[in-house]
A and B are shown apart, each in its own frame.
Chain A
Amino acid sequence: GQNIDQPTEMTATEGAIVQINCTYQTSGFNGLFWYQQHAGEAPTFLSYNVLDGLEEKGRFSSFLSRSKGYSYLLLKELQMKDSASYLCAVLDSNYQLIWGAGTKLIIKP
């Protein structure tokens, strides 16, 4: 079966760095997405990785290792507004998005 694992909840301090991990087992791979979702709102796109390595976008970076079925989202200089759920999703061989359950990130002052 297809499976995506990420931690249910993480807590970090304002101004610090946090890494949210995601491991996946899917039928085929056409890319991995990270989305941010605030409570009651639709997800918003953060990053897309299809090749191994690190993609940096401002305070957010995303890393992919296809051989390990592993990705992480790195958030630097955390702000209170970064408190949200972070969703990992993989595009499988049929171009269907397979979603993780999301990681709730709590930022403390």
Chain B
Amino acid sequence: GAVVSQHPSRVICKSGTSVKIECRSLDFQATTMFWYRQFPKQSLMLMATSNEGSKATYEQGVEKDKFLINHASLTLSTLTVTSAHPEDSSFYICSARDEGGGGDTEAFFGQGTRLTVV
């Protein structure tokens, strides 16, 4: 089945530094990928929709200059948390839909990245 690979799985960084998270679709092409954030004991929250070859669409309340998204190819989207602060510590998950023929709209998730900012 389709696989989405997300890297790194865990990262600890100092306050003020930037962290890049990669999301790759391994055996399918994804023109659209989704980035979610999950705080402890809360549901997944959609941060932004990443579109290959164009600007990402950010949800209300998400700072686009802080969470930089680049979707440079049909198999790779990156999320960069710039000038990270302790309140950015969270679980970040990417998702992509296999939009290939057959009408299958199942969404596949990366393994998630647990970011801790100290």
Q: Which residues of A contact B (CB under 8 A)?
A: 30-31, 33, 35, 40-45, 48, 87, 91, 95-97, 99-102
Stretch at the interface among B40-48, B65-73, B81-89: B40-48
Q: Which B residues have a C-beta under 8 Å from some C-beta of A?
A: 6, 34, 42-44, 46, 49, 91, 93, 95, 97, 105-112, 114
Q: Does the CB pair B43–A45 fall under 8 Å? A: no
Pair B109/A99 contact, Cβ less than 8 Å = no
With beta carbons under 8 angstroms apart, the residue of A30, A35, A40, A100 that contacts B105 is A30
Residues of B within 8 A of A48 (CB): 105-106
Q: B106 — nearest CB in chain A belongs to which residue?
A: A48
Q: How far is the CA of A101 from the CA of B42 in the complex (A)?
A: 7
Distance of A48 Cα from B97 Cα, bound (Å): 13
On chain B, the residues within 8 Å of A99 by CB distance are: 43-44, 46
Whether A97 touches B107, Cβ cut-off 8 Å, given contacts A40-B114, A41-B112, A42-B93, is yes
Verify A42–B107 contact, CB threshold 8 A. Answer: no
- Nearest chain A CB to B87's CB is how many angstroms away? 19
